[in-house]
């Protein structure tokens, strides 16, 4: 079967060379038992690839099971995948076959594979390498012959670096990679997909299909589509149902497109991933510099208030006075005080005793403590996202890995 036939049979729309390449690879590896890892942003159409592979293989008459690893609770996923024996955990009233047993001779699609908990990753690696597994609560080794296709929209290298995903398992799953392009990288297909969905929804809702003006087509093709084909499909459905006019102009269309700045945080965090460490270093540098400057000003003030024992000439006094008035108007970061600073009169060199104003200023510690601020922000972010570190990290603009480190460092693990 060639790419064109596969597209027709599976209802896959598009002529982008990147899409064609992905389909070619799928066709080539289908008859083998090689593991395939499908990557691509959310909504790029990853779910069709394992189906193509299964249908074009000798396994097509056996089971095809799609498992969304991100949707199964951590406590039951081992039992779902590998089965369990009666009484192996609370509520296990009978024994049960897992997907790896049911799909013997067939194909399992592990969607969102990066979400698999560690202990499941260990079991999965074993079944991939030896074809053997053990039901939860059992000690009997069971043999199975399953072909695995996995998919993810995560950056797997990042997941490995942060200790979330086993490197050996990644290489085992990724024997052949298939990468699906983001919709913004296949602009030539956007209008094509629009028309296909417009006709589908016209059928579904029994009304004429919506169509776009030329200007609207331009807008459609230039939009960034952070949610890819899924977002486009939803948009066409909304237009079909909500708009009374069947001709959509660029203004109507624009009102359905979220502004590019409203991207979902996860995409932003991925895009900026490389810049994190550099940005963090930069911040640290700036804060250190600010601290130095503050120390310097403090020193000058000390000299000023405690006296240096040598008479100053008119020029020197003027310089100091200027510095003084600047501090009074703009404040001094570590000495910000509502109380007025003493003024220097001509030729007056020392304000004999240390000025009380500067002795104990409460804000002194706080404004210098980057650490306290950081801790406070991290706490807030974790609370806001109810402990979901992924989202807290995205909001803080740091990597998940850095967040883990900081949680440890600040003892915030209880949040
Ligand atoms: N090439 C395509 N032609 C037509 N529809 C597509 C195509 N790719 C994806 N879709 C549709 O877009 C939606 C999202 O695809 P899906 O495979 O669920 O994305 P992913 O798993 O990558 O997030 C589905 O409704 C799917 O049918
Ligand atoms: Mg999906």
pLDDT at 304: 65
- Which ligand is the nearest neighbour of the Cα of 178? 1
Q: Where in the chain is the domain with CATH 1.10.8.60?
A: 185-263
Specify the domain boundaries for CATH 1.10.10 within the chain: 369-409
185-232 confidence digits (pLDDT tens): 999 999 999 999 999 999 999 999 999 999 999 999 999 999 999 999
**pLDDT tens digits along 19-32:** 999 999 999 999 99
Nearest CA owner, ligand 1 atom 8:
45
- pTM, whole model, 2 decimals? 0.65
Q: Which of 48, 185, 198 to mutate to test the pocket of ligand 1 (most atoms within 8 A of CB)?
A: 48
> Which residue's alpha carbon is nearest to atom 23 within ligand 1?
43
**Among 92-101, 359-368, 402-411, which is the least confidently predicted range?**
359-368
3 within ligand 1 shell (Cβ under 6 A): no
Tell how strand 64-68 and strand 107-111 pair up: parallel
Pocket test for ligand 1, best of 229, 232, 267 (most atoms within 8 A of CB): 229
Task: State if residue 14 touches ligand 1 by the CB under 6 angstroms criterion.
Answer: yes
Ligand 2 centroid – CA 348 distance (Å): 76
pLDDT digits (tens, 9 = 90+) for 137-164: 999 999 999 999 999 999 999 999 999 9
Query: Does the beta carbon of 98 sit less than 6 angstroms from any atom of ligand 1?
Result: no
How wide is the angle at C-alpha 111 spanned by C-alphas 28 and 59, nearest 5°?
Answer: 45
CA distance 231 to 99: 31
Cβ 152 under 6 angstroms from ligand 1:
no
Topology of domain 369-409 in CATH is: Arc Repressor Mutant, subunit A (1.10.10)
- Any idea which fold 185-263 has? Helicase, Ruva Protein; domain 3 (1.10.8)
The answer, yes or no, to whether any atom of ligand 1 lies below 6 A from the CB of 166, is: no
The CA-based angle 150-152-156, given to 5 degrees, is 105
Q: According to the CATH classification, is domain 3-181 in 1.20.120.80?
A: no
As annotated, the residues of the chain forming the CATH 3.40.50.300 domain(s) are: 3-181
Residues 6 or more apart from 27 whose CB is under 8 A from it? 1, 2, 3, 6, 52, 56
Residue 262 Cα to ligand 1 midpoint, Å, equals: 22
Residue 186: which residues within 8 A CB-CB, separation 6 or more?
Answer: 14, 16, 18, 19
Nearest-atom index, ligand 1, CA of 151? 21
- The angle formed by the CA atoms of residues 39, 123 and 60, to the nearest 5 degrees, is 55
Angle between helices 3-10 and 17-29 (to 10 degrees): 90
Calculate what percentage of the chain has a pLDDT beyond 90.
59
Handedness of CA 248, 252, 255, 258 (dihedral sign): positive
User: If you measure from the C-alpha of residue 306 to the centroid of ligand 2, how many angstroms do you get, rounded to a whole number?
Assistant: 70
Instruction: Return mean pLDDT, the chain.
Output: 83
Determine if ligand 1 sits within 6 Å of the CB of residue 229.
yes
């Amino acid at each position: 079967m060639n790419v064109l036939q596969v597209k027709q049979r599976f209802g896959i729309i598009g002529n982008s060379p990147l899409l064609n390449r992905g389909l070619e690879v799928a066709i080539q590896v289908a008859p083998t038992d090689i593991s395939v890892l499908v990557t691509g942003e959310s909504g790029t159409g990853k779910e069709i690839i394992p189906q193509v592979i299964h249908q074009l293989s000798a396994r097509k008459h056996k089971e095809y099971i799609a498992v969304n690893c991100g949707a199964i609770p951590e406590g039951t996923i081992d039992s779902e995948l590998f089965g369990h024996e009666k009484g192996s955990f609370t509520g296990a009233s009978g024994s049960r076959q897992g997907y790896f047993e049911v799909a013997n001779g067939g194909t399992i699609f592990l969607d969102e594979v990066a979400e698999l908990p560690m202990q499941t990753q260990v079991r999965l690696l074993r079944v991939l390498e030896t074809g053997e597994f053990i039901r939860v609560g059992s000690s009997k080794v069971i043999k199975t012959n399953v072909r695995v296709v996995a998919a993810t929209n995560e950056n797997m290298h990042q997941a490995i670096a942060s200790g979330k995903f086993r490197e050996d398992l990644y290489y085992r799953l990724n024997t052949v990679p298939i990468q699906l392009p983001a919709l913004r990288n296949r602009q030539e297909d956007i209008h094509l997909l629009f028309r296909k969905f417009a006709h589908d929804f016209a059928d579904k809702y029994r009304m004429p299909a919506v169509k776009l003006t030329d200007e609207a087509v331009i807008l459609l093709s230039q939009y960034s589509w952070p949610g890819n084909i899924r977002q486009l499909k939803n948009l066409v459905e909304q237009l079909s149902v909500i708009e009374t006019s069947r001709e959509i102009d660029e203004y109507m269309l624009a009102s359905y497109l979220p502004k590019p700045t409203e991207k979902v945080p996860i995409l932003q965090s991925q895009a900026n991933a490389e810049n994190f460490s550099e940005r963090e270093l930069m911040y640290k540098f700036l804060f250190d510099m600010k601290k130095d400057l503050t120390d310097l000003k403090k020193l000058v003030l000390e000299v000023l208030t405690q006296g240096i024992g040598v008479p100053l000439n008119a020029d020197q006094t003027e310089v100091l006075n200027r510095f003084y008035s600047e501090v009074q108007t703009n404040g001094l970061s570590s000495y910000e005080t509502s109380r007025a600073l003493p003024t220097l009169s001509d030729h007056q060199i020392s304000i004999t005793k240390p000025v009380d104003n500067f002795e104990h200023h409460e804000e002194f510690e706080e404004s210098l403590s980057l650490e306290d601020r950081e801790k406070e922000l991290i706490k807030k972010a974790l609370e806001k996202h109810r402990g979901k570190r992924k989202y807290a990290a995205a909001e803080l603009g740091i990597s998940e890995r850095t967040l883990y480190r900081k949680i440890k460092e600040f003892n915030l693990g209880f949040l």
